[in-house]
Chain A
Amino acid sequence: MNSASSSTAFMLLLRRDLILAFRRRSELLNPLLFFVLVTAMFPLGIGADPVLLKAIAQGVIWVAALLASLLSLDAMFRSDFEDGSLEQYLLSAHPVSILVLAKVLAHWLVTGLPLLIIAPLLGVLLDLPVDSIKVLMLTLALGTPVLSLIGSIGVALTVGLRRGGMILSLLVLPLYVPVLIFAANAVETAAAGLPITAHLSMLSGLLVLALSLSPLATAASLRVSLS
């Protein structure tokens, strides 16, 4: 198979997954609602002191985004596994890693991108200054795709298990930690008026690394799960 038809397959699968997500709209809202609710609970729980809220805002928003992403991961391959579509991907005439990349991209567009769009609103809610909100958006834009990419490996490994949820969290959360540290720290550093080039380089590096390696790992994990 040539690369032209492989890119056609990529676009076809991406489009199909977006159509499927659109036809199951109610499931789409779950992670977004979780993200908003968790963040909105913090001022209620610890009091509405603006100084305190400003200090913890970036951490709260990032942890909530991370957990929302974790919550939505399982849906990435679950229905494909149950209806036999996953077998068809593995038997496709195209490299499985390309198909995996299409699935992850669709998943991010449906679950990651809405978080990115709603985040400024939550920043305002927690009294973050405008400059910090910009940095927060930037880190979310670089970081959430990494979460989806790393998560796809974990999902691929656990999709064959009946109760894979707990194992999935244990597998994936430690790998999420570097993203969390660099992203949350970037917002804090920027607020202190220091340059954040190092943080952004680190996050971009993680993204490039995940983008190039995780589809291969996910494809291999799917083979293991189905054999």
Chain B
Amino acid sequence: MNYEKTDNSMTLVGRDLECIRDDRVLFSGLDFVLGSGQTLLLEGRNGSGKTSLLRILCGIRLPESGAVTWGGEDIFSLGPVYHEHIAYVGHRDGLKLDLTPMENLAMARGLGNPNPDTSPGDALHRVDLLGFEDIPTRNLSAGQQRRLALARLLVTRSQVWILDEPFTSLDVHGIELAEELFHEHVSMGGMLAMTSHHAVNLGNARVHKINLSV
């Protein structure tokens, strides 16, 4: 994996973000800067706005006030140009259960900016799903489906990974595997924005924590 097309000086910046849901202010005046090789770890109770903040970072949801910028430009005006640089794994895996893992990854690759160094087969190997290429995704266990969703991150060349509870339904081995992928991504200049109920071990990576409950 390399980022020859992306500039390591790019930063993802949130300024004065406010999010209101059902007339409740979830957070306001939130600022952050996420640079190359850094991790943003969102903490907070259930319903404190972690998922909403991640969706704002993706550009799916509009903040009530404030703006998210990529390289100094608003992500909403950038549109697909920004989306070329991000990969998102949300609560729902975004997988088609009637397709095989290979078909799912081929689609994910086509939708994003394809990573020439990692084929769908390589990605399956990385998440320890070799031998499951051609069976319907429906027949995989919940943890295996989650690993397949994480494999989506590898087939596109995205500098920013935005992950909502990536460890859900993973076993100890799966969590180790995911942490390894995250660590590798960050150590090669990638960025990571994630929420997690588990303690995350990312080695010596630079981690900013934002607690939305306070």
Contact = CB atoms under 8 A, between A and B. Distances in A.
A94 B86 CA distance: 13
Interface in B55-101: 55, 58-62, 80, 83-84, 86-88, 90-99
Contact of A226 (B60, B110, B114): B60
Interface string A1-12: 100010011001
A215 to B, nearest CB: 14
A226 B58 CA distance: 12
B82 to A, nearest CB: 9
Interface residues on B, range: 20 to 34
Contacts of B60: 87, 90-91, 223, 226-227
B99 A88 contact: no
A227 B61 contact: yes
B103 interface: yes
A83 B113 CA distance: 22
Main secondary structure of the interface of A (DSSP, over half): helix
Interface string A71-101: 0000000010011110111111111100100
Interface stretch (A15-23, A45-53, A178-186): A15-23
Contact of B99 (A20, A84, A93): A20
A187 interface: no
A162 interface: no
Contacts of A83: 92-97
B112 interface: yes
B212 interface: no
B94 A94 contact: no
A13 interface: yes
Contacts of A9: 110-111
A86 to B, nearest CB: 8
Interface string A93-115: 11110010000000000000000
A84 B111 CA distance: 14
A84 B96 contact: no
B86 A91 contact: yes
Given A1-B84, A83-B93, A85-B96, A91 B58 contact: yes
B107 interface: yes
10 contacts: A9-B111, A12-B111, A19-B99, A83-B94, A87-B60, A87-B94, A91-B83, A92-B83, A93-B80, A226-B60
Give me the 8 closest cross-chain CB pairs, A-B, nearest first.
Answer: A84-B92, A84-B94, A93-B84, A12-B110, A92-B111, A88-B94, A23-B98, A227-B61
